[in-house]
């Protein structure tokens, strides 16, 4: 099955799909994106992703390229044409194509809407069973990390640094020594008394859709949750640690820099949350494309 991409109203062979050289996404990283998990050909937490997309656009004074319902139909079609059962849908909106100049183009310039879908993209069973390592790096991003902007250069540099060190993710650290988040994941620890800790939402981090689901699942399971910043030192001494994201679910962290977390094996609360999240996916997998 050959891959198909959606570009501004057209379904194109993946290899031939492209945008103009003066697309503002290419020139200025002037755009936003979403990544949605697909399970059984259906979206997970689509409502949350749509709400976040609309918010990211609004914060950058951009508009939805089409009504949400129409966009959902295109998303479904992209997933269908790529025959994705388990995988991801990628969606990007930029401020359109115009002669390169920093101020916004005229309002008559249409935004660019691009979508791709692909199969796979799940943690390997070895990652789930054995856990992953993270390295810590200074957070070098701009001050509006709550906007899901395609401007990801600091994230790219940090993720490569993690890879070079044999780790899976980099935890970015603010000037006061507190962990903000991973390059594409939210960061969590479990304290010695079993309390889940993750950074509260404000402009410092992205409001992860998975973070939100894990918070709900944890509360339902009767776990204690504190939304507060934690330092690298606290994380290294924690009982457990994990990362959450659309593609990583709730993946155990067993090493932070050179420190082993607990005994270097995934912890029981992380495992419990993984199982709860799997059940959530199985339930959400029954979700339809055209919903609220
Ligand atoms: N933080 C950042 C910086 C991210 O890029 C992502 C992935 N979109 C996340 C957190 C996790 O968000 P989600 O659970 O919505 O995938």
**Sign of torsion over alpha carbons 136, 180, 149, 151:** negative
Cα(272) to centroid of ligand 1, in Å?
21
181-217 pLDDT, tens digit each: 999 999 999 999 999 999 999 999 999 999 999 999 9
Mutate to test the pocket of ligand 1, among 185, 202, 203, 216 (most ligand atoms within 8 A of CB): 185
Whose CA is closest to atom 10 on ligand 1? 185
- The mean pLDDT of 51-69, rounded to a whole number, is 97
Q: What is the pLDDT of residue 200?
A: 98
pLDDT band for position 260 (cuts 50, 70, 90): very high
Q: Which atom of ligand 1 is nearest to the CA of 210?
A: 14
Ligand 1 lining (C-beta closer than 6 Å): 35, 181, 184-186, 206, 208-211, 244-246
Asked if residue 86 lies in contact with residue 122, where contact means CB atoms within 8 angstroms, the answer is yes
Residue 283 has a pLDDT of 82
Which residue's alpha carbon is at the smallest distance from atom 4 of ligand 1? 184
209 Cα nearest atom in ligand 1: 15
Going from the Cα of 108 to the center of ligand 1, the distance in angstroms, rounded, reads 32
Q: Tell me which residue has its CA closest to atom 3 in ligand 1.
A: 184
- CA of 183, closest atom in ligand 1: 3
CA of 243 to the centre of ligand 1 (A): 10
Query: Which one of 212, 246, 248, 273 would you pick to mutate in the ligand 1 pocket, going by the greatest count of ligand atoms within 8 A of its CB?
Result: 246
The topology (CATH level 3) of 125-282 is D-amino Acid Aminotransferase; Chain A, domain 2 (3.20.10)
- pLDDT of 201 reads 98
Percent of the chain with pLDDT strictly greater than 90:
91
Distance from CA of residue 64 to its chain's centroid?
20
Could you give the residue numbers annotated as active site?
148
Tokens of 291: 């919903």
Domain ranges within the chain, ordered by starting residue: 4-119, 125-282
Confidence (pLDDT) at 157: 98
- With the most atoms of ligand 1 within 8 angstroms of its CB, the residue from 88, 92, 149, 186 to mutate is 186
For atom 6 of ligand 1, the residue with the nearest CA is: 184
pLDDT in tens, 148-178: 999 999 999 999 999 999 999 999 999 999 9
Average pLDDT over residues 235-239: 97
- For residue 211, the CA-to-ligand 1 centroid distance in Å is 8
- What is the Å distance from ligand 1's center to 99 Cα? 32
CA distance 147 to 124: 29
- Which of 33-37, 67-71, 187-191, 262-266 is the least confident region? 262-266
Rounded to the nearest 10 degrees, the angle between the axes of helix 68-81 and helix 46-59 is 120
Question: Sign (positive/negative) of CA torsion 45, 46, 47, 49?
Answer: positive
Distances (CA, A) of 196 to 62, 80, 214: 36, 38, 10
pLDDT band at 249 (very low <50, low <70, confident <90, very high): confident
Model confidence pLDDT, tens digit, residues 74-126: 999 999 999 999 999 999 999 999 999 999 999 999 999 999 999 987 888 89
Please determine, looking at this structure, whether the domain spanning 4-119 carries the CATH number 2.10.10.90: no
Q: In the prediction, which pLDDT does 286 show?
A: 61
Cα–Cα distance, 139 to 280 (Å, whole number): 31
pLDDT of residue 285: 67
Say how many Å lie between the CA of residue 46 and the centre of ligand 1.
14
């Amino acid at each position: 099955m050959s891959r198909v991409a959606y570009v501004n109203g057209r379904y194109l062979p993946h290899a031939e799909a492209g945008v103009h050289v003066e697309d503002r996404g290419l020139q200025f990283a002037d755009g936003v994106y979403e990544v949605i998990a697909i399970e059984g050909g259906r979206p997970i937490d689509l409502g949350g992703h749509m709400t976040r997309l609309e918010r990211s656009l609004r914060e950058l004074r951009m508009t939805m390229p089409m009504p949400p319902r129409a966009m959902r139909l295109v998303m479904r079609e992209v997933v269908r044409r790529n025959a994705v059962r388990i995988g991801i849908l990628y969606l990007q909106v930029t401020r359109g194509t115009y002669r390169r100049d920093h101020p916004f183009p005229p309002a008559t310039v249409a935004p660019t809407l691009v979508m791709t879908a692909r199969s796979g993209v799940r943690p390997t069973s070895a990652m789930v069973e054995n856990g992953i390592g993270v390295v810590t790096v200074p957070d070098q991003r701009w001050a509006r990390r709550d906007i899901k902007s395609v401007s990801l250069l600091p994230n790219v540099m940090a993720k490569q640094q993690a890879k070079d060190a044999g780790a899976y993710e980099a935890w970015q650290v603010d000037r006061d020594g507190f962990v903000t988040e991973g390059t594409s994941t939210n960061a969590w620890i479990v304290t010695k008394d079993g309390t889940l800790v993750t950074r509260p939402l404000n402009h410092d981090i992205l409001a992860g859709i998975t973070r939100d689901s894990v918070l709900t699942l944890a509360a339902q399971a009767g776990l204690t949750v504190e939304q507060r910043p934690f330092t690298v030192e606290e994380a290294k001494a924690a009982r457990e640690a994990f990362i959450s994201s659309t593609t990583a679910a709730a993946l155990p962290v067993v090493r932070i820099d050179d420190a082993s977390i607990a005994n270097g094996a995934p912890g029981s609360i992380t495992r419990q949350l993984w199982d709860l999240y799997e059940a959530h996916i199985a339930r959400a997998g029954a979700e339809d494309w055209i919903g609220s």
